[in-house]
Chain A
Amino acid sequence: MTLLDFINRLLGRQKPSGTLARQRLQLVLAHDRSDLNPELLEQMRREILEVVQRYVEIDLESCDVSLETEDRVTALLANLPIKRTREVPLPRSEESAAEGGADAPSPQAEADEAAGGGASERHGEGEEAPAPTSVPAESPPQS
């Protein structure tokens, strides 16, 4: 450890590299063990958010869905801060699809959903708003 490192750590600016190693390993081992590819994980994440958003408005910016592992048991952890509870849950995507009689969701609705922004406000306004649709696997991952 150089003197500069030492000072940085003393000031709390820098984590010791051993701690970083542990944190990075915790993440990578959880992924290795679950054997879920990132694409599937992303798809699952989007679908979970979709379901939760029917019941509550969540703060999409600070949502975190991740894998964690302890004692070789891997768990999916979702931290979804709630902004507001909906008085009436939004309809399920299949229900609304059946109502609207549309087999394929419009590309625009899909793009909006993938972008993750503004969905809750629109849904809050009225029954006319397009409900969240299931997102096909080949759509670009949300970042």
Chain B
Amino acid sequence: MDAVTSAPARTILICSGKGGVGKTTLTANLGIALAKLGQSVAVLDADFGLRNLDLLLGLENRIVYTAQEVLAESCRLDQALVKHKQEPNLSLLPAGNPRMLEWLTPEDMQKIVGMLAERFDYVLIDAPAGVEQGFKNAAAAAGEAIVVTNPEVSAVRDADRVIGLLNSMGVTPVQLILNRVRPKMMASQEMLSVDEVSDLLALPLLGLVVEDEQVIVSTNRGEPLTLNNANSPAGRGYSNIARRLGGEAVPLIDPSKERQGLRSRLMNKIRKTTGLF
């Protein structure tokens, strides 16, 4: 965060519409992965109602001040920022009291994000679920957005609402991340495919993260996968997303096509030769 940055910071909203699809997990993992690539990163918990980013990063015991005190000018920004010990390129600006929701305006969010943008390469904003004022405040402060969704009907529908709002607010680019992908189910067509979701939402795909038990283990520990276990299936997904975000051309491999089981290969063959279904 002490780096002298020439290029303007990238301020990226991480949102989804539906809750529980993996926004906060993504913010923590992407933040660490970008920091490991040598970027200075601030992660901002904009989910004031249900803050969790501190917990996923293992920083919950080190919070003194929050965005609330920074806005009230009762502390300086650097007093509120919590620097990650193992990955000092990353700092967290914690969410304030849930009652902030009552008075926070889009201008307040723009002010906070503007302050962060002066000192970091990346500002990742962990948005609240929903399409109400909390989301709109956060979106007003972002230059670009990542929409996280799961390959499920309700998550995709809610994502679509959010994309409509982002478009009308002029946030661009908006990119898609598909989380909790189950390759086997996709291969047997019992789950929306990667292409289907990105076609339905008409968004470019920034990356995929598979369903992975290690995500739970890592949240239990307060250590994002990208910190110590970047080679786990989900960890690789998060790391690749970080590299693509930085402009690297990391190929996107559809895991459902990569390791198809014998049965689904057989099914595909039957489908193709008979045209039955």
Contacts and interface: CB of A to CB of B under 8 A. Distances in A.
A137 to B, nearest CB: 26
Given A32-B161, A33-B160, A12 B153 contact: no
A11 B196 CA distance: 24
A24 B154 CA distance: 11
B277 A21 contact: no
Given A33-B160, A33-B164, A24 B191 contact: no
Contact of A18 (B164, B192, B202, B276): B192
A42 B140 CA distance: 37
B186 interface: yes
A25 B190 contact: no
Most buried by A among B161, B163, B167, B277: B277
Interface in B221-265: 263
Interface string A9-30: 1111011111101101110110
Given A9-B277, A15-B277, A1 B190 contact: yes
A72 B161 CA distance: 11
B97 interface: no
Contact of B190 (A10, A17, A28, A32): A17
Nearest to B160: A29
A128 B192 CA distance: 56
B270 A25 contact: no
28 contacts: A1-B190, A6-B263, A9-B267, A9-B277, A10-B267, A10-B270, A11-B276, A14-B277, A16-B188, A16-B190, A17-B189, A18-B185, A18-B186, A18-B189, A18-B191, A18-B192, A18-B193, A22-B192, A22-B196, A24-B153, A29-B156, A29-B160, A29-B200, A32-B157, A32-B160, A33-B160, A72-B163, A72-B202
Interface of B: 152-153, 156-157, 160-161, 163-164, 167, 185-186, 188-193, 196, 200, 202, 263, 267, 270, 276-277
